[in-house]
Amino acid sequence: MFRSLVEVDTPALIIREEVAHRNIDRFQKHCDYNSLKLRPHVKTHKCVHFAKAQIAAGAVGITCQKIGEAEVMADGGIDDILIAYNILGDDKLGRLRSLAERTKALSVVADNDVVLGGLSRAFETASQPLKVLVECDTGGRRCGVQTPRGAIALARSISAHPGLGFGGFMTYPAIGGQRDVLGFMKRARAGVEECGIACPEVSSGGSPDMWHAHTHDGTVTEYRAGTYVFNDRSLMERATCSLEDCAGRIVATVVSVPSESRAIIDAGSKILTTDLLGLAGFGHLVGHPQARITDLSEEHGIVQCGPEDRFEVGEQVNIIPNHICVVTNMLDHAWLERKGGEMSVLTIDARGKLT
Amino acid sequence: MFRSLVEVDTPALIIREEVAHRNIDRFQKHCDYNSLKLRPHVKTHKCVHFAKAQIAAGAVGITCQKIGEAEVMADGGIDDILIAYNILGDDKLGRLRSLAERTKALSVVADNDVVLGGLSRAFETASQPLKVLVECDTGGRRCGVQTPRGAIALARSISAHPGLGFGGFMTYPAIGGQRDVLGFMKRARAGVEECGIACPEVSSGGSPDMWHAHTHDGTVTEYRAGTYVFNDRSLMERATCSLEDCAGRIVATVVSVPSESRAIIDAGSKILTTDLLGLAGFGHLVGHPQARITDLSEEHGIVQCGPEDRFEVGEQVNIIPNHICVVTNMLDHAWLERKGGEMSVLTIDARGKLT
């Protein structure tokens, strides 16, 4: 399944294009079949190349977390963007206004009135109102209004603010928490409709629960998933995907075998990151089921060998990272492996866009 | 101590230049007083600006981990560089040879004969032999020969390889493991000297033990430290430095206060990273001793508030990161805060240099 790639200097990230496209198509078909709009989160690939592939497959638009990501995607020709983040501060608001002027459809989220105040000041003179969705905390315990009552109040506040238009409700549920989404959103939607406000969209998300995205009796209208495009060890371990569905792998070189039980690879936290996502070890070593990456420093991965593992200095190994989204953020470039094995440079266009 | 910096768009890393220079001078004086050569590791700052400041203060040269870092530093005018890594592969060996031709003093380490073979092939036609130090595992359990006997054998092997010259012994000890360094290195040095091979250098390192760097009865000749230039929460917690010695802080904005006990900041793992270094929580929130950054996603930091913490949406907070070296690797730019408060852009020249 994985060729030996002596021509690739290590450590490096390789993306198998065919697998990524298969992942895109498969989940798009699932959404289409279930009449669910798909709005992929670009945080996983951060590449205009793959955002365009997602749109071409049928996605309604994309999701970004930061204005900087959205700017890069707009530069690349994507014109329907949700920025799923509370945006604050004059600098960001000015950029948001400029971005709105050069995209067909731009929307954001908010979970409090301070954010609404800033958005309204920035857009009260705009030619089109900015669509704002109310972020709801349905158990994920991150951002979001805490109750349907709070969601209804904020939706009414959006409608009352000059320059803004209510775009619906949005949530990033806890893993396995789609059932909680249903009750919260139904009450919120009913509440705003009673006030005579239309609720255009109910947006949920998360790759771990993607294959249950449709089990909402029509309440959820739009789904945001990011990781599904490449998949990773965290989704493999949850049985959301298989090893064959993992489009991204890190190629590393064994640089030292200090003892029979330990090998050192040149992939450390500068490419694998220390994200565990609840797993043990810092990645899945393909073809070495007994070996464990037990520790990382910045440029070293410490591999604890199983009794049958024999690693040789200079040998290349393939690793499925725990969390692929944070890996792409470490790299300005990855390798794109075409079907026939041909390699080309893949620029991670929106790497490190923090603001 | 920390000004409110409404002009800085968040999240951002701010380096206080005066504090960094004080850190550089203080440890240089400690090394000078104890007749210890200081060879700072640039992995912490990754900036030519600070490497030059370290050299100007009296450092003999710099340490890098990757050729890409060394290339950036050589481009910036640094001409005495140790690359403390096993270098393998034609691509890297070609770059190493080129680098040697444009630096005054370049050295590397090795812990096995496969690496020596590659280095020798690359340098057998060079005008000057490449200086190679033997990396020794004195308890750090990363790379390194396992015994003084193994170190002596590899030193002899270096001397026997065309194009190479033995440069001494190098180790990155376990924290608190400087005592182990002493016994290992004394036996290794005595062994090579018995073979008629001079041992020019014994190099140890690590910021956590930096204030004990001199307690080696002259065995250790050179010390490599990285983190000391900026310091971080991990060194604060070990009492290696105080809060006032931390030159680097992350400025973040409170974007949401969903409940009395929880606030959300716009610094997530894309700037703080998930490195814990054995600590609880993902950074020290300055001025909020009861608050804890209990969880991170890529763009969100989850703050658990203490009973007296009141956070407001839009407020800026300052965070001392757990591990400053990995933070600089996330960013193309940071802010350099001059003594009078003036801010200038600091380019992280060697960010993301993985090969």
Walk along chain A (355 residues) and give the pLDDT tens digit of each residue: 444 454 799 999 999 999 999 999 999 999 999 999 999 999 999 999 999 999 999 999 999 999 999 999 999 999 999 999 999 999 999 999 999 999 999 999 999 999 999 999 999 999 999 999 999 999 999 999 999 999 999 999 999 999 999 999 999 999 888 778 999 999 999 999 999 999 999 999 999 889 988 777 789 999 999 999 999 999 999 999 999 999 999 999 999 999 999 999 999 999 999 999 999 999 999 999 999 999 999 999 999 999 999 999 999 999 999 999 999 999 999 999 999 889 999 999 999 999 9
Chain-chain contact of B255 with A143 (C-beta, under 8 angstroms):
yes
Which of A111, A115, A326 is nearest residue B298 as measured by Cβ atoms?
A326
Domain boundary pick from B230, B252, B279: B230
Share of chain B above pLDDT 90, in %: 91
| Domain end point (choices B230, B245, B278) | B230
Torsion angle in degrees (nearest 10) through CA of B303, B308, B310, B316 = -60
User: Cβ neighbours of residue B296 under 8 Å, at least 6 residues apart?
Assistant: B268, B269, B272, B274, B282, B302
Q: How many CB pairs under 8 A join A and B?
A: 153
pLDDT by residue (tens digit) across B103-138?
Answer: 999 999 999 999 999 999 999 999 999 999 999 999
Contact B258 A146 (CB under 8 A): yes
Residue B1 has a pLDDT of: 43
Separation of alpha carbons A190 and A196, rounded Å: 10
Q: Does the residue A276 lie in any domain?
A: yes
Q: Which of B250, B255, B277 to mutate to test the interface with A (most CBs of A within 10 A)?
A: B255
Comparing CA positions, the residue from A287, A320, A290 lying closest to residue A303 is: A290
> What are the E-state strand segments in chain B?
12-16, 37-38, 62-64, 80-83, 105-110, 130-136, 164-171, 202-205, 222-224, 248-259, 262-265, 284-285, 292-296, 301-304, 316-320, 333-337, 343-347
Please check whether residue A354 lies inside any domain of the structure. no
With residue B123 as reference, give the H or E element that holds it. Answer: helix B113-123
Which of A193, A209, A230 lies at the terminal end of a domain, its last residue?
A230
Tokens encoding B262: 């929880």
- Which pLDDT does position A177 carry in this prediction? 82
Q: Looking at residue A275, which CATH number applies to its domain? A: 2.40.37.20
Instruction: Give me the residue label for tokens 């931390």.
Output: B246
Overall domain count for chain B:
2
Q: Are A332 and A348 spatial neighbours (Cβ–Cβ below 8 Å)?
A: yes
What is the rounded CA–CA span in Å between residue B346 and residue B332? 9
A33 CA: distance to closest CA in chain B (Å): 31
Closest Cβ opposite residue B112 in set A11, A142, A256: A256
Q: Which member of A65, A298, A329 has the closest CB to residue B65?
A: A298
Neighbour-count burial of B260, counting CB atoms closer than 10 A to its CB (0-12 exposed, 13-18 middle, 19+ buried): exposed
Q: How confident is the model at residue B12 (pLDDT cuts 50, 70, 90)?
A: very high
CB atoms within 10 A of CB B63: 27
**Cβ within 8 Å, pair B143-A256:** yes
Model confidence at B89, in pLDDT bands (50, 70, 90)? very high
Whether B352 maps to a domain, the answer reads no
Q: Which residues from chain A sit within 8 angstroms of residue B114, using beta carbons?
A: 312-314
Nearest-Cα distance to chain B for A330, in Å, is: 7
User: Do residue A257 and residue A202 come from a single domain?
Assistant: no
Chain A residues whose beta carbon lies within 8 Å of the beta carbon of residue B9: 89, 91-92, 355
pLDDT at B320: 98
Mutation site, A256, A269, A331, interface B, largest B CB count within 10 A: A256
Residue among B66, B111, B298 minimizing CB distance to A65: B298
Average pLDDT, chain B: 95
Looking at beta carbons, which residues of chain A come within 8 Å of B262?
141
Do A90 and A183 belong to one domain?
A: yes
Which residues span the domain enclosing B271? 234-347
Give the pLDDT score at A212: 87
Residue B47, exposed/middle/buried by CB under 10 A (0-12, 13-18, 19+)? Answer: buried
Q: Which residues in chain B have their CB less than 8 angstroms from residue A275's CB? A: 269, 274
Residue A107 neighbours by CB distance under 10 Å: 25
Average confidence (pLDDT) over B65-71? 98
Same domain as A136, residue A190: yes
Put simply, the answer to whether B258 touches A111 (Cβ < 8 Å) is yes
Q: Note whether A88 contacts B255, CB cutoff 8 Å.
A: yes
Report CB contact under 8 Å: B275, A269.
yes
| Partner-chain residue, chosen from A143, A256, A355, that has the shortest CB–CB distance to B300 | A143
Q: Within this chain, do residues B104 and B238 fall inside the same structural domain, yes or no? A: no
pLDDT score of A1: 43
Question: Which residues in chain B are contacts of A253 at CB distance < 8 A?
Answer: 88-89
Instruction: List the one residue out of A38, A90, A95 whose CA is nearest residue A70.
Output: A95
- Is B26 contained in some domain? no
Kindly give the pairing relationship between strand B105-110 and strand B284-285.
unpaired
Nearest Cβ partner of A255 from B143, B145, B258? B143
| Per-residue pLDDT band at B177 (split at 50, 70, 90) | confident
Which residues 6+ apart lie within 8 Å of A40 measured at CB?
A51, A54, A59, A62, A63, A224, A225, A226, A228, A229
Residue B188 lies in a domain: yes
Interchain CB distance below 8 Å, A330 and B332: no
Residues A170 and A72 in one domain: yes
pLDDT reading at B269 higher than 90 = yes
Q: Is B120 inside a domain boundary?
A: yes
Residue in B10, B142, B144 nearest the CB of A297: B142
Is B60 within a domain?
Answer: yes
> What's the rounded Cα separation, in Å, for the pair B81 and A241?
46
- Tell me the CATH number at B117: 3.20.20.10
In angstroms, the separation between the Cα of residue A193 and the nearest Cα of chain B is 24
Residues 6+ apart with CB under 8 A from B78: B48, B51, B52, B55, B61, B62, B103
Q: Are residues A267 and A205 in the same domain?
A: no
B332 to chain A: closest CA residue: A352
- Nearest by CB to A352, from B65, B88, B332: name it: B332
In a domain, A298, yes or no: yes
Q: Which residues of A touch B85 (CB under 8 A)?
A: 255, 266, 299
Assess whether B114 and B261 both reside in one domain. no
Residues of chain B neighbouring A89 (CB-CB closer than 8 A): 9-10, 253, 314
Beta strands in chain A (DSSP E): 12-16, 37-38, 62-64, 80-83, 105-110, 130-136, 164-171, 202-205, 222-224, 248-259, 262-265, 284-285, 292-296, 301-304, 316-320, 333-337, 343-347
Same domain flag for A85 and A223 = yes
Please give the Cα distance from A153 to B268 (Å, whole number).
29
Number of other CB atoms surrounding residue A1 within 10 Å: 10
The pTM assigned to this predicted structure is 0.96
B155 and B193 part of one domain: yes
- The pLDDT > 70 percentage for chain B reads 98
**pLDDT by residue (tens digit) across B289-347?**
999 999 999 999 999 999 999 999 999 999 999 999 999 999 999 999 999 889 999 99
Question: Do A257 and A300 meet the contact criterion of CB atoms below 8 Å apart?
Answer: no
Residues B159 and B178 reside in one and the same domain: yes
Q: B185 and B253 share a domain? A: no
Q: For residue B171, is pLDDT > 60?
A: yes
Q: How far is B287 from chain A (nearest CA, A)?
A: 22
